[in-house]
Structure 1
Amino acid sequence: MTVRARIVGVGTAVPPTSYSQQEVLDTFQITDARARGVFLNSAIERRHLVLPPPGADGRPVGEQQGDLLDKHRTHAVESGIRALEACLKRAGASLADVRHLCCVTSTGFLTPGLSALIIRELGIDRDCSRSDIVGMGCNAGLNALNLVAGWSVANPGELAVVLCSEACSAAYAMDATMRTAVVNSLFGDGAAAVALIAGEPASPAHPAGAGADGPRILRFASHIIPDAVDAMRYDWDRDLGRFSFFLDPQIPYVIGAHAEEVTDRLLAGTGLLRDDISHWLVHSGGKKVIDAVVVNLGLSRHAVRHTTGVLRDYGNVSSGSFLFSYERLLEEQVATPGEYGVLMTMGPGSTIETALIQW
């Protein structure tokens, strides 16, 4: 029998402060009608953000690039730790059980990376192996899951964790352009962790039945669109003196047009049709992105209820968004043995990542 990595736990965390879209507009005193329309028609109700304190004019004080990097370090570590602890609790595991920690982030650059900082902060075994995936963007959570699932199969019985921790408010720029308005209306701060194990646990301290009903990871499929390599970028803005994110207005339609191809390749040779997939966990990339995927794959609105729910309540939390949706599916307790699910993320490259799982 082929050994597969199995998902045995998930956990999420967000900063304590949250804002409605109207509150963000009021906080930054945004009066431009077009910009306000972008915020208020985003299908987002609230987002968790770490905003700077108000200055003399009542608006948040400006943050230099160094301040933003400090913010990323502080809050990516803090939220990441809480998500990791929640994940291990759900898995019935402890910090001592973690044998590989892979950290994902695109909202700041650190050397050493988040994995080393979190291992030091929590006192995780110094023999724990680690990896960091930086700069791949919103699709990176599935890139990491692919690699760590391979590590799990190569190290049966050992617990591995993928941790996606994004301080998106540390990647914000403030100016009067519509480019900035689109970005600032969309992203929220958050972290999500998922625990994997292949085969029986190697440690007697780890409960043998923990996460036993979690889905097996069967296969992955990726698709990159080189013609759209500049459609999603995080690069240096010389005018603002900081990094700034760019989203091409056409990217939802580009993603949607390629979603069918990668999904069909994911299912090729399995005997499965799209109608055989009971659970769709799609990245909460934005209202237009979700709509494009729904139309091109012929999905119902119910199929992406968790995707739209996460967007509504948290905004786009980048690489960990699909795990927020997975957590909501678990809490529903509707997945039954034998059912299939598809995980899908998309991001810079432009790239679509998918995974097929089975309970």
Structure 2
Amino acid sequence: MTQSITTAVHGIGTAVPSHEVHGAFIDWASAHVADERADKMFLRMAARSGIDQRWSVLPHGDDGGSPVAPGGFYDRDPLPGTAERMAAYARYAPQLALAAIGDLASRVELGGITHLVVASCTGFVAPGIDQIIARELGLDADVERTFIGFMGCYAGITALRTGRHIVRSEPDARVLVVAVELSSLHLTPTDEIERLLAMLQFSDGAAAALLTAADAAPADAMRLGDPASLALAGGEELIQWHIGDAGFSMELSGAVPRRLHDALEDPAVRVQLIGDTPPDLYAIHPGGRSILDAVGRGLDLPEHALDDSRAVLAAFGNMSSASVLFVLARMIAERRTGSGIALAFGPGVAVEGLAFDLPR
């Protein structure tokens, strides 16, 4: 019988842009809500979002202001079209990805990369950012590349799972996994509270991880366990991501938290995603305060079980596929130990999970 190969994560690097935009967005969105009562509701919910900061790759305006300020990227009517936004993606996404890889390189040795897995759902460019990253890093021309596109927030789990499969099939592989998202490229003018609150969640960020077989990793490196996938019945309309003439439009229903809560409360779903024994650690995608609250209630978690996810949400917002890697990076930095489960949610509604272990 062939011995199963355990996959290890040597380390995780992260990066966000330097331009903080959360307060500027709230002011911009509030100005678009004509009804005073609705505006008060929006501002109240924004204050309860659990988010303190969000970041954008877009440069400061002429007066040093945000992208929605005079001279900023969005200071025009109509707003920039999809082509201009994709040009910005082609420029900034590789830069942010390389910054995360640079942070990873400050922690671990990145020589000998054999495979590159890149996840991103906020833009398209060809040649792809996987090729751009490989070229900028000076990787061998025959490095095997995989691009995971347009899957949404759970694609970070999908990328790690893909890296795990590669290592298990090729034990000598050294897999560089990257997730990079530029959500701030997709601002859409609207007076609909639900859509404004959806945009309120999202931010720009990138994360990178090195995966190898466990016997080629330090003894205290994170180990990856079994994956799990589940598409929830009846959730097709709750999270959608459409490409329009003025960027990508996110449809995020306020019913999502309840749908997740009800699913996770089902013992059969819990076993499918988590297994028979509750883990010590929960790396839950910080899709929003209400999402984390729903997961906490649905899984009946202890009070502080989601502290790492809440801390990432507060400091960075929802960075789509990169977010769950930020949570795992925080757990590593905080020297958490024990068995764990990483869960992320996205269009469908679908759930992706991956077990892990942080050795004591």
Question: Could you state the TM-score of these two structures normalised by the residue count of structure 1?
Answer: 0.88
Secondary structure in structure 1 of the residue aligned to 2:282: strand
Given candidates 239, 263, 276, the residue that maps to 2:270 is 263
Do the aligned residues in 2 keep the contact of 1:27 with 1:60 (CA within 8 Å)? Answer: no
Q: RMSD across aligned C-alpha pairs, in angstroms? A: 2.2
Do the aligned residues in 1 keep the contact of 2:178 with 2:209 (CA within 8 Å)? Answer: yes
Secondary structure in structure 2 of the residue aligned to 1:216: strand
The equivalent residue for 2:65 is: none
Asked if 1:9 corresponds to 2:11, the answer is: yes
Q: 1:127 to 1:36 in 2, by over 3 A?
A: same
Q: 1:2 to 1:233 in 2, by over 3 A?
A: same
Given candidates 258, 273, 277, the residue that maps to 2:277 is 273
The CA deviation string for residues 3-35 of structure 1, in whole angstroms up to 9 with x for no partner, is 11111110100011113x433223566263133
Q: 1:83 to 1:44 in 2, by over 3 A?
A: same
* Cα shift at 1:37: 2.9
Asked if 1:218 corresponds to 2:235, the answer is: no
Provide the C-alpha distance between the structure 1 equivalents of 2:87 and 2:308, rounded to a whole number of angstroms.
Answer: 32
* Cα shift at 1:60: 3.4
* Cα shift at 1:41: 2.1
| Range with bigger deviation, 133-142 or 64-73 | 64-73
Do the aligned residues in 2 keep the contact of 1:15 with 1:189 (CA within 8 Å)? Answer: yes
Identity among equivalent pairs (%): 27
Unaligned runs of 5+ in 2: 34-38, 62-68
The equivalent residue for 2:120 is: 105
Secondary structure in structure 2 of the residue aligned to 1:228: coil
| Range with bigger deviation, 215-224 or 21-30 | 21-30
Provide the C-alpha distance between the structure 2 equivalents of 1:225 and 1:48, rounded to a whole number of angstroms.
Answer: 31
Asked if 1:35 corresponds to 2:42, the answer is: yes
Provide the C-alpha distance between the structure 2 equivalents of 1:190 and 1:83, rounded to a whole number of angstroms.
Answer: 9
* Cα shift at 1:314: 0.6
Q: 1:199 to 1:284 in 2, by over 3 A?
A: closer
Asked if 1:93 corresponds to 2:103, the answer is: no
What is the identity, as a one-letter code, of the residue corresponding to 2:333?
Answer: E
Given candidates 172, 191, 211, the residue that maps to 1:176 is 191
The CA deviation string for residues 197-254 of structure 1, in whole angstroms up to 9 with x for no partner, is 01544xxxxxxxx5431122120111102421121111144xx644311101101111
Given candidates 294, 302, 305, the residue that maps to 2:304 is 302
1:201-216 alignment, distance < 5 Å: 201=216, 210-216=217-223
Asked if 1:245 corresponds to 2:247, the answer is: no
The equivalent residue for 2:87 is: 70
* Cα shift at 1:88: 3.2
Secondary structure in structure 1 of the residue aligned to 2:8: strand
Asked if 1:60 corresponds to 2:75, the answer is: yes
What is the identity, as a one-letter code, of the residue corresponding to 2:83?
Answer: G
Q: 1:264 to 1:40 in 2, by over 3 A?
A: same
The equivalent residue for 2:138 is: 123
Q: 1:80 to 1:8 in 2, by over 3 A?
A: same
Do the aligned residues in 2 keep the contact of 1:222 with 1:262 (CA within 8 Å)? Answer: no
The CA deviation string for residues 271-301 of structure 1, in whole angstroms up to 9 with x for no partner, is x521xx2111000010111001000101123
Provide the C-alpha distance between the structure 2 equivalents of 1:332 and 1:100, rounded to a whole number of angstroms.
Answer: 29
What is the identity, as a one-letter code, of the residue corresponding to 1:85?
Answer: G
Provide the C-alpha distance between the structure 2 equivalents of 1:58 and 1:344, rounded to a whole number of angstroms.
Answer: 34
Q: 1:69 to 1:217 in 2, by over 3 A?
A: same
Provide the C-alpha distance between the structure 1 equivalents of 2:328 and 2:116, rounded to a whole number of angstroms.
Answer: 20
* Cα shift at 1:56: 6.7
* Cα shift at 1:117: 1.2
Unaligned runs of 5+ in 1: 202-209
Secondary structure in structure 1 of the residue aligned to 2:139: coil
Which runs of at least 4 in structure 1 moved beyond 6 Å after TM superposition?
Answer: 56-59
Do the aligned residues in 2 keep the contact of 1:168 with 1:189 (CA within 8 Å)? Answer: yes
Query: Across the two proteins, how many residue pairs are aligned to each other?
Result: 338
Provide the C-alpha distance between the structure 2 equivalents of 1:251 and 1:65, rounded to a whole number of angstroms.
Answer: 27
Provide the C-alpha distance between the structure 2 equivalents of 1:47 and 1:99, rounded to a whole number of angstroms.
Answer: 34
Provide the C-alpha distance between the structure 1 equivalents of 2:283 and 2:134, rounded to a whole number of angstroms.
Answer: 29
Do the aligned residues in 1 keep the contact of 2:13 with 2:103 (CA within 8 Å)? Answer: yes
| Range with bigger deviation, 33-42 or 68-77 | 33-42
Question: Could you state the TM-score of these two structures normalised by the residue count of structure 2?
Answer: 0.87
| Range with bigger deviation, 187-196 or 26-35 | 26-35
Q: 1:178 to 1:153 in 2, by over 3 A?
A: same
Do the aligned residues in 1 keep the contact of 2:185 with 2:247 (CA within 8 Å)? Answer: no
Provide the C-alpha distance between the structure 2 equivalents of 1:115 and 1:58, rounded to a whole number of angstroms.
Answer: 26
